[in-house]
């Protein structure tokens, strides 16, 4: 898989379910041995070989580390390790997670700090992981684990519900990480928006380099399921994808592992449903598939180009994987059939999946080569009825037409700099599964009226473009 990752332009991978866990279908989040790579995937030596190979390809490897809780099994793991409930965990009932049925660490105990901090050092020194993504940070930092809570005002971050010991541990973990490897990457999986979580410890923060923008994937899913295409609001989309503190870097993603597991549907599957099984051949015309492919591209386009720090893709979403992930369990007779990704679908040029992968590769390379994420987005224009959005980042202009039926000729968009612009990415290109209605060879010159420089462009329905000043 690593050569695929390299070709697509990604510079890091995040490995999940690495720490040993007894139940396959827990997705690795019920850890029994914090110092053992899961034996079901191979040996520790083979894990090291995988990481070394990634490094040869200049791909960083990030471990999804689970320090938010531990498996409650008593014949393996830490539960009742010394015959008591409170060696590493809070006494009952505080020591039991009410939703996950797992044990909750007492981060105020010196033994717990020693155990978990040595675990951080172990994975980085022994296996040469380049970073750690801390799972369940919201569950760690609040006594109620954030269950059923909407974080709507700042007082919630400073009340009696906050586990300050957990925050101290996370700050220490970040210090240890960056002492072991100053270039390491730390990421917090937090849904609460705790201020200064991804801010330097020296300046009063907890020290994470990034926070996961967990609400974005939920927003897209809710939009797909509950809104008609005519109701997609470009102002709301821009706000939801950029409503992060500019001082704190975040990782944006359109689809999470939760959506790709049994019980939910990946994005393309949600958009086209059963048609994905019958109409993905390139010689088959299907309006449902055309709509799904167009919107799938626009969702990823907006998520990446409006990100504040980094972009994450869940494996298979780059080509619209048609199925969920289902681990061997009682419910499927312990089958491995759906525990795999169908990479062959993306490589078959007789199927439309390869169009989506082509677009993903072009989008990621375009973002990297033009340093798009190094500049903050600036909204230049929006029109709710026309469902048009225009924003700038650095010397690039991004234009999106979300309207399901209307294409616009000579539509004027205000831009900050006069001059000539050329299209460097166009979602309607034929090799992306589009209709080829945009001529990328045309050089577009700005015009000046009403005191503002404008670009006049042809904007087909459900398309996105990136223009760069020449």
Q: What residues are labeled active site?
A: 135, 189
CA–CA distance, 188 with 133 (Å, rounded to integer) = 6
Strands 12-15 and 60-65: parallel
CA–CA distance, 319 with 298 (Å, rounded to integer) = 13
Give how far Cα 417 sits from Cα of 299, 367, 381, 447, 455, Å: 27, 20, 14, 11, 10
CA–CA distance, 367 with 466 (Å, rounded to integer) = 10
Q: DSSP for 13-59? A: EEE-S-EE-S-GGGTT-S-SEEEEE-GGG--HHHHHHHHHHHHHTT-
| Nearest by Cα to 299 from 383, 224, 226 | 224
Instruction: Say if CB 304 and CB 252 are below 8 A apart.
Output: yes
- How many Cα atoms occupy the beta-carbon half-sphere of 255 within 13 Å? 27
Radius of gyration of the chain (CA): 24
CA–CA distance, 458 with 470 (Å, rounded to integer) = 19
Residues 6+ apart with CB under 8 A from 37: 18, 19, 20, 43, 44, 47, 127
Helix axes 214-226, 287-305, angle to 10 degrees: 150
Instruction: Say if CB 468 and CB 370 are below 8 A apart.
Output: yes
What DSSP element (H or E) covers 403?
Answer: none
Eight-class DSSP state of 90: P
Q: Which two tokens stand for residue 171?
A: 């700050």
Give φ, ψ of 413 to 5 degrees: -115, 130
Q: Which two tokens stand for residue 397?
A: 């202009």
Instruction: Say if CB 453 and CB 410 are below 8 A apart.
Output: no
CA–CA distance, 400 with 235 (Å, rounded to integer) = 12
Sheet holding 408-415, edge to edge: 408-415, 452-459, 447-449
| Nearest by Cα to 312 from 360, 351, 277, 280 | 360
Q: In the beta sheet, which residues pair with residue 378?
A: 392
């Amino acid at each position: 898989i690593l050569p695929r990752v390299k070709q697509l332009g990604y510079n890091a991978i995040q490995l999940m379910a690495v720490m040993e866990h007894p139940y396959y279908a827990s997705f690795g989040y019920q850890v029994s041995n914090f110092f053992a790579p899961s034996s079901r995937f191979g040996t520790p030596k083979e894990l090291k070989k995988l990481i070394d190979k990634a490094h040869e390809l200049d791909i960083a490897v990030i471990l999804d580390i689970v320090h938010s809780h531990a498996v409650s099994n008593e014949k393996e793991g830490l539960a009742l390790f010394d015959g008591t409930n409170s060696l590493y965990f809070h006494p009952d009932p505080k020591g039991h997670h009410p939703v996950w049925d797992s044990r909750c660490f007492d981060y105020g105990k010196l033994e717990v700090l020693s155990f978990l901090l040595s675990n951080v050092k172990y994975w980085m020194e022994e296996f040469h992981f380049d970073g750690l993504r801390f799972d369940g940070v919201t569950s760690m930092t609040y006594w109620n684990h954030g269950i059923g809570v909407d974080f709507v005002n700042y007082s919630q971050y400073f009340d009696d519900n906050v586990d300050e010991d957990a925050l101290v541990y996370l700050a220490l973990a970040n210090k240890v990480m960056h002492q072991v490897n100053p270039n390491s990457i730390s990421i917090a999986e937090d849904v609460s928006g705790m201020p200064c979580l991804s801010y330097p410890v020296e300046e009063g923060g907890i020290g994470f380099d990034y926070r996961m923008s967990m609400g974005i994937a939920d927003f897209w899913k809710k939009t797909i399921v509950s809104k008609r295409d005519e109701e997609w609001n470009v102002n709301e989309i821009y706000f939801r994808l950029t409503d992060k503190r500019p001082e704190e870097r975040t990782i944006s993603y359109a689809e999470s592992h939760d959506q790709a597991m049994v019980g939910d549907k990946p994005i393309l599957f949600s958009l086209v449903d059963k048609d994905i099984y019958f109409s993905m051949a390139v010689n088959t015309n299907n309006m449902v598939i055309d709509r799904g492919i167009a919107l799938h591209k626009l969702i990823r386009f907006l998520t990446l180009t409006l990100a504040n720090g980094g972009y994450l893709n869940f494996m298979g979403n780059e080509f619209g994987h048609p199925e969920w992930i289902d681990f061997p369990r009682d419910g499927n007779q312990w089958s491995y059939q759906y525990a795999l990704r169908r990479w062959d679908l993306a490589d078959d040029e007789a199927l439309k999946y390869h169009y989506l992968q082509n677009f993903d590769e072009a989008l990621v390379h375009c973002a990297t080569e033009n340093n798009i994420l190094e500049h903050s987005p600036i909204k230049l224009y929006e029109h709710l009825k026309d469902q048009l959005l225009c924003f700038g980042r650095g010397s690039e202009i991004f234009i999106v037409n979300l309207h399901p039926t209307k294409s616009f000729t000579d539509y004027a968009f205000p831009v900050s700099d006069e001059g000539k612009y050329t299209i460097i990415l166009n979602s309607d290109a034929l090799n992306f599964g589009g209709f080829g209605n945009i001529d990328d060879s045309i050089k577009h010159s700005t015009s000046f009226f009403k005191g503002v420089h404008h670009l006049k462009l042809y904007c087909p329905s459900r398309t996105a473009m990136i223009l760069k000043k020449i």
